[in-house]
Structure formats: C-alpha cells, structure tokens
Structure 1
C-alpha cells in the first residue's frame, strides 16, 4: 500500500536517528567512563605522592594497616623492582551509609621508607555506580530521542507540507486535465527548482500531445468527410447496375455483395466520424431530454425490424427518465442500445423495456452466455454472434457517457437476458 512522502521520510528518519543515537550513546558512555576513571586515577596518584611524603616525614604512618578516615592502608611488602608501579582496579566494598556494597576505585602500589623497608600502599576512593549511571543515561537518551523524533516529525510535516504544496497543485492539475482541452491544466509557479522544472516539462508534454491530437482529429474528420462522397457515389452506381434487367443473376449477386460491403464501410465511416466528434466534445448544446419518450419513439422506428425478427416487446413501468443532455447524443445512445438488443436477439425472443424515473433497462434474450463487461465496450471488439459487425456500437455508447457523464451505462446478465441499464450518474 502506498504511503505519503512525509510518512515515508519520517519513518526512515526515526529509525535512522534511533540507530545513530544508540551507537552514539555507547561511544559516549565509553568516552565518559574513560574520562571519569582518568580523573579518579589522577587523584589517587596525587594522594600516593602526598602519603609517601608524609611517610618520610612521619615514620609512624606506616602503621596504618586498615582503611580509615584517610581511605588508605600500608602493609609490609616485599622488595621488588616494580614495587612503585601503579595498579588500578575496581572492587565492591561495604558502605555503612547505604548498608550495601558500593564500587570503589583502588590504587595498589609500593614504596621504600627512609630505612629501606618495602611497604605496600593501597588507596581507595568511591567511584560511580556504572549500572545506575547506565540506566540514567539510557533514560535521558530515551527522553531526548522522543523529543528529537517528535520535533523532526513536526518540522518535517510543516516543512514538507509547505514544500510539497506546488507538487500537490501540479498533481491536482494533472487530475483535472482532459485530453483535447489544454486549458484544463493550469501551470503552477514554484520557488522549488525541481517542481518548477517538472511543471515546465508537463506543459511542454501537454502542448506536444495537444498538437498531435489536433492533427489526428483533423485527419480523421477530413478522411471521413472525403470518403463519404465517393462511397455514396459508388453505392448509387451499384444500385443503378442492380436495376438493369439485362444483367444475369450471378453478376447481380456479386454486385449485391459488393454493395453490402460498401454499406458496411459507410457505416464504419459514420461511426468513426461520430466517435471523433464525441471525443472532441463537439456536442455542446444541452436541453431537457425525456429518455422514456425517446425509447418509445425509437421502438416505433424499429418496428419493421422487430416484426422481421418476430420479437416480443415487453414494456414495464411508466417512469419518466428526464435529465439535461444533448439531444443528438441521447438519440445515438438509445438507438445503439435498441439496435444492439434487436440485432443480437434470438429469433422470436424477448425485448424487454423497463422505464423508471432514474433508470432505463433494455434487455434482450440470449443463448445462455453472459458477455464480458471488461471488453464489450472496447472499440472494434466483436462477439461471436455477428462477424459482420464493425465493433463500434457499444464503443460509441462508452465514449458518450465518458465525455458527457450526466448519465452512465452498465451491463448485467440476469435470467438469460442481456441487460443494459441507463442510469442518472452521481457526479
């Protein structure tokens, strides 16, 4: 699932900061403890010098064999060349105040008195409790981490919201852009260099697409118009040939086949021209259209074809489906639906019309096989029922409702009936 840029950025920032602070805390703890012990050791070495000096001045000090107020003791030692070396270590010792063992830092060394006797000197001092210090440090860092993380999230949210505002406006502009209408995209000015470049590239891309679109539109319209005249002339001449009583039957049948192919080409040309006009949104005028009356009127126009197919007409309901729409498009839409329901009906089948105030259903009998709603509205898609179809009838319907979405058209399969529904769309 996609997430926003702010969430994506904050997630990685929070994780990265946690890792960085954890590593930094370990290093900080190690450096801090090294500095603490270094300072304590310097103090112990200083005490060592003072105690040895006092031993030279007062020989009785060597009798301090237990730790007392001065926190050192002197015990007889053995002659050794390393007697004056310093050895530091930590040790837990009982502390009466806390009534528990506490950590001490101890310096063990040695010296010789004036009369040359070797003695061992131990000096101790209370040091930090590393476990308590580590807990306190971890708690402090946790609080610091929370504060930093929340600060980054807030700053990042505010900063990115402001920085990404031009990007959101650009995306909204792209969402509102409609192919063939260059004014539907409004360029956005931005102080961010990347967004400004993105905006310029989008404008260039739209201009190029619009130029190509205009060229294609003019080509299709010009080609369709130029084809109409020679096709009409050719069909007329074929009609004249078919009226010639002197022609034998075999040439007449071939002429009829040629005429039928030309009529299909005429229909394809008209359908392509209609699609081009719809996609170019050349149907601007709107009026109040009563689709229920339009359906009944077109049924009368198709009455001869209905009788030829021996279809049973069932009209249910008397709802008046009224909405503002282009009259020509409404006629094309309903005409294509009725023609489709008649043409692909079974011999002697049912043509059911259901009229409601917000819905019109046009249903026809089927051979027990549902159509695929993912493909039936695609251009040049042909089913298995009629290989002579140009595959543009339902595509014109889809183009109408896509470009003029006051109404919508849907398909269902119910009780061996193909049902096409015209609905008032919620937009």
Structure 2
C-alpha cells in the first residue's frame, strides 16, 4: 500500500473512531435535553390543568384522552399516596392521527375537594423523534463529507507535498552505476526531503566508487593473472617438444599443464562470479530460450555422441526473456554441460521448455544430490579432478541477480534442474 493511501486509511480510522464516539455522546445528550424539555412541558401542563380544575370542575369528568392531552380518573386515597410523578415513553393510538404515535406520558395524582384523582398528561414525540433522526443523518453526512474532503486533500495537497519524495524514489530506481549520471536534485524546502536527498547522494557516491574500484580490480585481475598463466602453459608446451626430454619428465610437465589449465578455468570462473555480483552485465536483450538451448546442444554434439547419450528437447519459442545475452548463455551452457559430463554411458538428457520454465533432466548417479549444498562454491564431485566446483554456483548467482529461481529435484532416478523465468519473461 502506498504511503499516501496508508496515511489516508489511518486518518479515516481515527476520524471514524472520534466522530463515532462524538456522535454517540451527541445523540445521548440531545435525547436527554429533548426529554428534559418535554418533561418540563408536561409538568407545566399538569399545573395548568390543576388550575383549570379549580375553576371548572367539569374537567374532572375527562376520563379519556380523546382530542385532549390529559385524562383524569378518581381513585382512593390509599392509591393516590402510592402514585409518584413518573415520566415514561410509550406508544398510544390517537384518533386524530389514526395510528400509533410515540408519546411521553406523565403519571401523577392530586386532591380536590377531599377527593383523590389520577392524572395522566401526554406530549407527542413525533417532532422530537424527527429532530433526532435529522440530527443522526446530519452527523452521518458530516462524516461522509469529511472523508471525501480527506480523499481530495490526500490526492491534491498531500500528493504535492510528497512529490519530492517520489521524485527521489524514481531516480533511485532508474539510477545506473555504470553510467555518468548526475546526482539527485529535487526542488523542495522540506527539511526531511533535503536530508533524504543528501543521504541518497552520499550512498550513491559511495556505491559508485566501490563499483568502479571492483570493476577495475576484476579487469586488472583478469589481465594480470591470465597473462602469466598463458605464458606458463606456452613455456611448458615448448619444453614438452624438446628432443632430449625423458618420459617421466614429460608426464610431469603434462600434469603441470593440466593444473595450469585448471587454474585458468578457476580464475575465469571466479572473475565471472565477481562481475555477476557487481552487476557489471547490465545490457539486456530479448532472447529465445529454445534457440540458446539448440545452439549449445549442437556445440556439445561430439560429447553426446562419445557417451552415446540420448538427448531430446521438447518446447518452442514461447519462452522469451529479457536478460544479458552472455549471462544467459553461461547459465544454459553450464546446465547442459553439467547434464552431459555427469551422465553415464548410454544415458539420457531431456530438456523441457514451457511458457515460463526451463527444465533439464539427466541420468547419472542413482542417489540424489544434497540440494542444500550443491549450489555452494567449490562443491563438486570428488572423482572429477578437472571440475572447478563453480558451475552451479555461477548459475545460482546469475539467477539471483535477476530474481529468478533455480531449483534441483531427484525424480525417477533422474537429476533435474528447473529455472522459473517469471520475473524476466517477455509477454507475447
């Protein structure tokens, strides 16, 4: 959820809570005030009726409400002492309204000419209830207007206030360490955004210096280490061609050449890992996984024929990804080479390409590998002295750099590696 929407949500909840409590208190107080006002009116009507009774005793015969707002019934003295002034809400059928009507009634008693009477005085609550209902809807619409106002303020005023923040965020998303980009500069007078801008620029400067330093190191290491290794191999090969070389010495030189070749491969692999982790492969293009797989299948055809491996590929061009071409070639090449070199005689390799996944399975050892350690650096088959133990580590590093998943599973005596390309898949 965006920060603006999250702020709006919290403000709305707080407003709902505050207005809700206020509305309940307002309703209770309003109803209490209305009832007090009606009770005062009933008390006043009671006094007026008692005054009229002393002037006109015929009012004592008013035994029904009828069109009036009171009724009088004669009672015993004992009953009159038991009646205290009491106010109560009730429903009453009124002939003039021809319907049940909410009323407030006062029960009281009085003495006149040594006789005792019960007096009931009523007052309609229709107008008062309408007032309460109108007040409720007023509060409700007030709440709606406040929420709408908050949304408008959020989308116009707050969005303008937070504009520098989103500008800085967008610059950080698109910033390229390998390009000569200027520092982030936004127009703002807000102290916090200025501090965020300064902190971002300081972090980018440090990252760029580190990136440049590591890039120079990998380039220098690649050149400085590869050159002496190549010279060593060249000198040893010349020495191997000497006429007076003994057989035992020749074998020793061949072993040293093999070790040098392995050192060369190890150096290349480590440098490749460093470049991947430093994000030095930034150029991307749209590539067909099927075409890359077919290319390396033909490249390793001699090895496939030598081991008499049954190789098949199932899929089409439906899976296309946006990646660095060199890294994708390394990824697919390592997996295919791994499936061939670690296979058995007369074994099989199968590749399956779907709309979002590349899966390669091969026969080989009858026991599963440990999925917890096979992607670790220098984790290799002890029987294979030529392996650097970095092939799967490089594959995992490439996948992590693009946020895609490389997994291993053992099924039906086959070792399978699957890559889910969802995060860099190109929609057709």
- Structure 2-normalised TM-score? 0.61
- Give SS of 2:60's match: coil
Equivalent of 1:65, from 44, 60, 74?
A: 60
Partner of 1:36: 34
Contact 1:337 1:420 in 2 (8 A): no
Label 1:22 to 1:385 Cα distance change in 2 as closer, same or farther (>3 A): farther
Structure 1: how far apart are the matches of 2:209 and 2:133? 70
Partner of 1:202: 200
2:148 equivalent to 1:151: yes
Structure 2: how far apart are the matches of 1:363 and 1:94? 88
Label 1:97 to 1:328 Cα distance change in 2 as closer, same or farther (>3 A): closer
2:423 equivalent to 1:426: no
Label 1:64 to 1:32 Cα distance change in 2 as closer, same or farther (>3 A): same
Deviation string 1:363-417 (CA, Å, 9 cap, x unpaired) is 876446788999877765546774642233456567789989xxxx999999968
Q: CA deviation at 1:267?
A: 1.7
Structure 2: how far apart are the matches of 1:291 and 1:45? 98
Structure 2: how far apart are the matches of 1:133 and 1:315? 83
* Mapping of residues 271-282 of structure 1, within 5 Å: 271-276=269-274, 281=280
Label 1:167 to 1:378 Cα distance change in 2 as closer, same or farther (>3 A): farther
Q: CA deviation at 1:212?
A: 1.9
Structure 1: how far apart are the matches of 2:309 and 2:47? 122
Q: CA deviation at 1:126?
A: 0.7
Structure 2: how far apart are the matches of 1:105 and 1:213? 87
**Unmatched segments (≥5 aa) in structure 2:** 353-357
Q: CA deviation at 1:153?
A: 6.8
Deviation string 1:234-268 (CA, Å, 9 cap, x unpaired) is 5566668876968794x876766555444322221
Range that drifts further, 39-48 or 252-261: 252-261
Label 1:91 to 1:411 Cα distance change in 2 as closer, same or farther (>3 A): closer
2:139 equivalent to 1:126: no
Structure 2: how far apart are the matches of 1:20 and 1:347? 78
- Give SS of 2:87's match: strand
Q: CA deviation at 1:29?
A: 2.6
Partner of 1:357: none
Deviation string 1:82-140 (CA, Å, 9 cap, x unpaired) is x9x99352265553323546523427476899xxx797784724142599559836962
Cα RMSD of the aligned pairs, angstroms, is 6.2
Label 1:373 to 1:168 Cα distance change in 2 as closer, same or farther (>3 A): farther
Q: CA deviation at 1:65?
A: 2.0
2:19 equivalent to 1:24: no
Contact 1:366 1:418 in 2 (8 A): no
**Unmatched segments (≥5 aa) in structure 1:** 355-359
Q: CA deviation at 1:157?
A: 5.7
Partner of 2:355: none
- Structure 1-normalised TM-score? 0.61
Contact 1:365 1:418 in 2 (8 A): no
Partner of 1:264: 262
Deviation string 1:214-236 (CA, Å, 9 cap, x unpaired) is 22222333334333344445556
Contact 1:311 1:351 in 2 (8 A): no
* Mapping of residues 3-402 of structure 1, within 5 Å: 3-5=1-3, 8=6, 16-47=14-45, 60-61=55-56, 64-67=59-62, 71=70, 87-90=85-88, 92=90, 95-99=94-98, 100=100, 102-106=102-106, 108=108, 122=119, 124-128=121-125, 136=133, 140=137, 144=141, 147-148=144-145, 151=148, 154-155=151-152, 158-159=155-156, 166-178=164-176, 180-181=178-179, 183=181, 189=187, 194-232=192-230, 235=233, 249=248, 257=255, 259-276=257-274, 281=280, 298=299, 309-311=306-308, 340=338, 342-347=340-345, 366-367=364-365, 380=378, 382=380, 386=384, 388-393=386-391
Contact 2:34 2:128 in 1 (8 A): no
Q: CA deviation at 1:47?
A: 4.8
